[in-house]
Homo-oligomer: A and B are copies of this chain.
Amino acid sequence: MNSFTHVPPGFRFHPTDEELVDYYLRKKIASKRIDLDVIKDIDLQNRAMGSSRIGAEEQNEWYFFSHKDKKYPTGTRTNRATKAGFWKATGRDKAIYLKHSLIGMRKTLVFYQGRAPNGQKSDWIMHEYRLETNENAPSQASISP
Contact = CB atoms under 8 A, between A and B. Distances in A.
Copies in the complex: 2
Contacts of A16: 10
A92 interface: no
Interface in A1-60: 2-16, 19-20, 23-24, 34-36, 38
Chain A interface: which size bin?
20 to 34
Interface of A: 2-16, 19-20, 23-24, 34-36, 38
Contact of A2 (B4, B9, B12): B4
Nearest to A3: B2
A24 B4 contact: no
Nearest to A22: B9
Contacts of A19: 9-10
Given A8-B36, A14-B14, 15 more contacts: A2-B3, A2-B5, A4-B7, A7-B11, A8-B35, A9-B23, A10-B14, A10-B15, A10-B16, A10-B19, A10-B38, A11-B12, A11-B14, A12-B12, A12-B14
A3 B7 CA distance: 10
